[in-house]
Structure 1
Amino acid sequence: MSGGRFRPLAGVLAATAVALTGTRVSAIALPWYVLGTTGSAAWTGVVAFAEMVPYVLVKALTGPLVDRVGPRRISLAADVVSAVAAGAVVLLDALGALPLGALIALVVVIGAGRGPGDLAKEIMIPEAAGRAGMPLERATGLMGVTERLAQTVGPAAGGAVVGLFGALPSLGLSAVFFALGSMVVGLALPRGMGHSAPAPADKLGSGSGSGSAPEFGSGSGSESESGERVTPAPRRGAGSEEGYWRRFGEGMAFLRGEPLLLTVIAMVCVTNLLDAAFGQVLGPVWAKESGHGPVLLGLCGSVMGLTAVGGSLVAAAVAHRLPRRPVLFAAFLIAGPPRFLFLAFDLPVVAIVAVFAVGGFCGGFLNPILGAVSFERVPRHLLGRVGGLQTSLSHVGVPLGGLLAGAAVTVAGLAPVLLACGAAYVLALGLTGLRPEWREMDRLRARPATARPTADGPVSDGSSGAEGRVGVRE
């Protein structure tokens, strides 16, 4: 294979890496800047809310537009918007013209740019893999490793720059990363990327079947006599003739007929809320009140990201041989609640870092499992609209996480809120884990699918070590 075949895939992965690194840097810089200027956990939560509400809403509504305009153009424009907004924060603060209202407005713009930018990069992976002649499963595995590496580098860079130079230079670094992401997309990805005709239906391979989804007209598929799902390719040119709301409705209709995906979304939505509370408010407040500062906070995030890379690689090698349900819930229980519970007590730094390391490794198993479930069920031609809806619905609680955490810390103090969040995490996993739909997770493996699905799944928080299309929040 010629090296040119791999250029689109390498470009998507590189653009994802630098843009997500910018996001992780800003995740350290923004809360620290607000805490430093206002001294208020509540206002820190408000700023986090202002970023995540447009992120969720715009990402949900952008799916049909991405299908029509093309993910390359959307990614280019979105990263430029995020870079300009982040740079404006630095410039206005340097000029002494950044009141809190202006900061919130610019944070809204950053969130609105990040949503469609993230979605566009994610859904270019299948076409890039096809151009490279690479199996989709391997390409999505590379995407997962890329995301973990960004989660490792970003917090370390953000924490180091904040500790050495302050929050605003760190946010300036974030703007540079956003701009680099746009440049990589423009230089490495060919024009028309994302507008290729859908690939012919083929076998996904063992462990990728589904047969329980009902029909939704010509776009949702049916079952053959052997029980395999058959998803007919869309008519040539049909996507350009359909209206926006018709395409949006097709994505909604598909999800309504998928009880397992809806159950996953519901569970991940709750854990995302709690992870957002930790990342946006509880972690920064703990770092400040404990005296450890942003450097240790960034170190913990990077250690968690690094061990998550190892967990993802191990999961890619052996997860297909393991029972999905017990591994998924065991990994969630180790990756999520302990962070809250351990930080509520005055433990040695070594113990705290160890908790993040073990949690990251276990979190690395989440997205490979949840991603496989989504890929088994979502047909390729619904890529943008279903992917945008799934990730956005799983993010619904994220804007409230920081807002509620900031208010709760103001009223009750940090330690009680950390303990309550840890208990809520365990309760959420226990209650949703009793749902009967989870039994379908292991059944799907026995029935290979006829169509190759490629849409994104729900996303859970990167704080729990699982970041990507199905599982954790970005």
Structure 2
Amino acid sequence: MTASRRPVLALTAADTLSLTGTRLSMVAIPWLVLTMTGDPLLTGLAGFAEMLPYVIAKALGGPLIDRLGARRIAIVADLVSMATIALVPLLHLAGLLGLPTILPLVAVLGTLRGPADAAKYAMVPAVAAAGALPLERVTGIMGVIERLASTIGVALAGALVALLGPALALSVTAGAFGLSALIVAVGLPALPQPAPAASSGYLADLREGWRFFRRDAVLVGVVIMVASTNLLDTAYSSVLLPVWSEAVGDAALLGLLFAIFSGASIAGAALATVLAERLPRLPVYVIAFLLTGAPRYLAFAIDSPMPALVVVLIVGGFASGFLNPILSAVMLERIPAALTGRVSALVNALSWTLIPLGGLFGGALITLAGLPAAFAVSGTIYLAVTLLPLAMRSFRAFAERPALPSPTP
């Protein structure tokens, strides 16, 4: 590993630890609230208390990333996250843990994780430039890491919660955040930091990022597509597929179907890491979205036999692995280096805005029309959304490949 490639290794290692810790907390915290209260509504409230601050803090934290540097924000946010989540097992051992203490801690954690994740994402262009790598290569590696961390984190969470209990399992999350901060501090010491703005204030920086975003038709189109498909994917994973699995009488099937899709997506992301920079962006993007979206919903809507469902999930999962490398490269290439933090954070936050509504959307569809119709309606909407790039002339710029952006001096 040459010195110029070490930042890539350091960033991916830190991201792996950070994401694994986050996925562990996403399982342990709701389980902790559910076992303490026995109330599903309060369990949902805990998730909402984390996600709402996460999205808001990610959107608002962009100017700080540009002013103070992505590396500094990542280190500080990870360290304070470690201290925050470590309070849960400590309060548990002291007999002081209850819902009035859990909810504020969860809200603080969400507020910290938003900027922490945005800061690591904002470091990708500088890391790619330091390693003389195409953006698709680095974003592809990050995509593989994200999918692996999601899979490993959930599996690890189940084992740790069963072994230690949900409160003590969160000590592992705290350790993961601490190690992530250490790796960024030691492994990325030479990354250039953006020059702080001399005349504009925080709100002016925020407005500048917003103005740049809304004037870029490709970024606006990407956000509309990703936010809409995130809504539908959340409805699918949190309501539609669980209800279908329960209806066929085999709850264990739910985990198997998720594992099939996730495993195929890891393989697709790994291949995209190698090939994405040589592939035509717009056709691959559209075809991958068409394969990963609507067929899943329509296969369940028509009650396809299990072998057909498995094939659809494998093909869709594999295709989904090509999306993030291309999407991330396009977004980061279109954003000037001086605006990377605020615009990339805003784009990512806006793409997540409909996720909290996904479960409500799926539940309402099933209540109003029944499960097969809910799958059919969701798949039809998914198909329409994924055809958007072919209908919008402004989306043609998606295919452009500008020169690799250089790090901010």
TM-score (norm 2): 0.82
Please give the per-residue CA displacement for 1:213-265, whole angstroms capped at 9, x wherever unaligned.
xxxxxxxxxxxxxxxxxxxxxxxx57344322222122111112122221221
| Offset of residue 273 of structure 1 | 2.6
> Which residue does the alignment assign to 2:374?
420
Is 2:200 the counterpart of 1:242? Answer: yes
Is 2:217 the counterpart of 1:259? Answer: yes
Rounded to whole Å, the distance in 2 between the matches of 1:28 and 1:41 is 14
Please give the per-residue CA displacement for 1:72-91, whole angstroms capped at 9, x wherever unaligned.
12111111222223222233
Against the structure 1 CA distance between its residues 352 and 440, is the aligned structure 2 distance closer, same or farther, given a 3 Å change threshold? same
Against the structure 1 CA distance between its residues 431 and 319, is the aligned structure 2 distance closer, same or farther, given a 3 Å change threshold? same
Is 2:367 the counterpart of 1:368? Answer: no
Higher helix proportion, which one?
2
Aligned 8 A contact 1:248 1:385 in 2: yes
Rounded to whole Å, the distance in 2 between the matches of 1:288 and 1:160 is 23
Number of corresponding residues: 407
> Which residue does the alignment assign to 2:405?
452
Selected match of 2:233 from 275, 283, 297: 275
> Which residue does the alignment assign to 2:155?
156
Rounded to whole Å, the distance in 1 between the matches of 2:45 and 2:89 is 19
Superposition pairs of residues 288-327 of structure 1, within 5 angstroms: 292=251, 301=258, 303-319=260-276, 324-325=281-282, 327=284
Aligned 8 A contact 2:12 2:145 in 1: yes
Aligned 8 A contact 1:155 1:298 in 2: no
Against the structure 1 CA distance between its residues 299 and 161, is the aligned structure 2 distance closer, same or farther, given a 3 Å change threshold? farther
Against the structure 1 CA distance between its residues 306 and 37, is the aligned structure 2 distance closer, same or farther, given a 3 Å change threshold? same
| Offset of residue 150 of structure 1 | 1.5
Aligned 8 A contact 1:376 1:453 in 2: no
Rounded to whole Å, the distance in 1 between the matches of 2:37 and 2:91 is 17
Counterpart residue type for residue 449 of structure 1: P
| Structure 2: gaps of 5 or more residues | none
Aligned 8 A contact 2:136 2:273 in 1: no
Superposition pairs of residues 192-207 of structure 1, within 5 angstroms: 193-195=191-193
Rounded to whole Å, the distance in 2 between the matches of 1:179 and 1:337 is 40
Rounded to whole Å, the distance in 1 between the matches of 2:72 and 2:153 is 25
| Offset of residue 308 of structure 1 | 1.8
> Which residue does the alignment assign to 2:25?
26
Superposition pairs of residues 139-154 of structure 1, within 5 angstroms: 139-154=138-153
Aligned 8 A contact 1:51 1:110 in 2: yes
Rounded to whole Å, the distance in 1 between the matches of 2:53 and 2:276 is 35
RMSD: 3.9
Rounded to whole Å, the distance in 2 between the matches of 1:350 and 1:84 is 47
Superposition pairs of residues 105-254 of structure 1, within 5 angstroms: 105-190=104-189, 193-195=191-193, 239-254=197-212
Is 2:87 the counterpart of 1:88? Answer: yes
Rounded to whole Å, the distance in 1 between the matches of 2:70 and 2:185 is 12
| Offset of residue 428 of structure 1 | 4.1
Selected match of 2:288 from 331, 340, 345: 331
Counterpart residue type for residue 61 of structure 2: T
| Structure 1: gaps of 5 or more residues | 197-236, 456-474
Counterpart residue type for residue 29 of structure 1: A
> Which residue does the alignment assign to 1:42?
41
Against the structure 1 CA distance between its residues 99 and 286, is the aligned structure 2 distance closer, same or farther, given a 3 Å change threshold? farther
SS in 2 for 1:239: coil
Counterpart residue type for residue 179 of structure 2: L
Please give the per-residue CA displacement for 1:349-380, whole angstroms capped at 9, x wherever unaligned.
99887765444322102113323432443222
Aligned 8 A contact 1:277 1:405 in 2: yes
| Offset of residue 301 of structure 1 | 5.0
Counterpart residue type for residue 390 of structure 1: V
Please give the per-residue CA displacement for 1:377-427, whole angstroms capped at 9, x wherever unaligned.
32222211110110111111123335x369759x959x9579636633531
Against the structure 1 CA distance between its residues 417 and 193, is the aligned structure 2 distance closer, same or farther, given a 3 Å change threshold? farther
Counterpart residue type for residue 248 of structure 1: L
Task: State the identity as a percent.
Answer: 42
> Which residue does the alignment assign to 1:399?
356
